[in-house]
Amino acid sequence: MKTILGAVLVTIATTSACAQDIIGTWRYIDDKTGEPKGLVKIEKQANGTYAGTALKATPRPGYTAKEFCTNCPAPYTLHQ
């Protein structure tokens, strides 16, 4: 029993020691397509929480963004 408990504790200790820190720049991957969608920067705030900032959005192949916002609330509605 002590051998099994020791093996479990060693496994838990090595698994948590190998975990990556979340702080840094990460690539955001689309769950459905597996394609990269952009870059997100994760930072630790002074209060101990984490915040993410979108750095770059990867354009979708064959997609052209609309120049003007339609059906958007004010002040985001732009008219031609």
CA–CA separation, 42 and 23 (whole Å): 5
* More confident site: 64 or 53: 53
The answer to the question of residue 37 being in a domain is yes
The answer to the question of residue 16 being in a domain is no
Backbone angles phi, psi at 20, to 5 degrees: -80, 150
What token pair was written down for 16? 């948590």
Our count of domains for the chain comes to 1
Query: Quick check: pTM over 0.75?
Result: no
Structural domain containing residue 74 = 21-80
What token pair was written down for 69? 């916002």
Residue 1's pLDDT band (boundaries 50, 70, 90)?
Answer: low
The answer to the question of residue 80 being in a domain is yes
Residue 52's pLDDT band (boundaries 50, 70, 90)?
Answer: very high
Q: Looking at the chain, which runs of residues are DSSP E strands? A: 24-29, 36-44, 50-57
